[in-house]
Amino acid sequence: MNLFEKEALIAQKAVELENATPEDIIRFAVETFPNITFACSFGAEDVVLVDMLQKISPKTDIFYLDTDFHFKETYETRDRLAERYPGIPFVEVKPEITPEEQAAQFGDELWKSNANQCCDIRKVQPLTKILSQYEAWITGIRRDQAPTRANSKKIEYDVKFGLVKFNPIASWTSEDVWQYIRDNNVVYNPLHDNYYPSIGCEYCTRQVMPGEDPRAGRWSGQEKTECGLHK
């Protein structure tokens, strides 16, 4: 099957499963693509998907990008999830260079002088490497998170990374996410309770005050709105 045929098939399934539940989409994903992984950032959307995966396909690989710059609460959330779901091997994926090596090569606080380059080194390059081992991946992106995500399909071919991408909760609202968390008593990052609706690296994330866009706290003061993982 060539790329055109593969994209056509995925587009067809995206239409067929648009109104399917996230659980049904996950079942289809893991049954159709056994060599699949879930990219977990430990945000609200992703802890929901961790819970779903543990109920549907507990052996599915889960990894996270450890940029070395996460909030301590993010690492604590990882540890609490591991306690809640014994047996999950949250695979740590790290950049090829340490923060100290990055500072030596590109200057201190690269996230201030060139945030795109910092994200590329600490997120995009490691993601590209880990995804090359799989034929499909699952993400927690939602359409209403940002204009750049508004056209995300539940199932799509990820041209950037060359594999099939599943976005099971793409049509969910933030309230849908939190309702699931409450109903299922899901572990979540406590920063969400302190005006952090979207949580990235500590140096590039600030609190979001009532009335602001939920992603206003990411790369505040810059034109940048995405780290480069999602088109």
What is the tens place of the pLDDT at every residue in 40-92? 999 999 999 999 999 999 999 999 999 999 999 999 999 999 999 998 889 99
Instruction: Confirm or deny that 204 is annotated as ligand binding.
Output: yes
* Rounded CA separation 53/45 (Å): 13
DSSP state of 120: I
Percent of the chain scoring above 70 in pLDDT: 93
**171: phi then psi, degrees, rounded to nearest 5:** -90, -5
CB 181 within 8 A of CB 168: no
Task: Find, among 66, 68, 65, 71, the residue nearest to 101 by Cα.
Answer: 68
- Indicate yes or no: pTM above 0.85: yes
Arithmetic mean of pLDDT, 188-205: 94
- For residue 173, the number of C-alpha atoms closer than 13 Å in the C-beta half-sphere is 3
What domains does the chain contain, in order, with CATH numbers? 3-204 (3.40.50.620)
pLDDT, position 223: 60
What is the tens place of the pLDDT at every residue in 15-34? 999 999 999 999 999 999 99
Q: How many CB atoms lie within 10 A of CB 162?
A: 12
pLDDT of 224 above 50: no
> Which two structure tokens, joined as six digits, stand for 135?
């034929």
**Beta strands 155-158; 163-166: pairing state:** antiparallel
**17: phi then psi, degrees, rounded to nearest 5:** -105, 10
> Which two structure tokens, joined as six digits, stand for 48?
């929901």
Cα distances from 145 to residues 76, 85, 140, 148, 224, in angstroms, run 24, 28, 11, 8, 14
By annotation, the residues acting in catalysis are: 227
Instruction: Confirm or deny that 40 is annotated as ligand binding.
Output: no
Arithmetic mean of pLDDT, 133-150: 90
pLDDT, position 210: 82
What is the tens place of the pLDDT at every residue in 165-196? 999 999 999 999 999 999 999 999 999 999 99
What is the tens place of the pLDDT at every residue in 109-118? 999 999 999 9
pLDDT, position 222: 67
Task: Find, among 153, 96, 92, the residue nearest to 125 by Cα.
Answer: 96
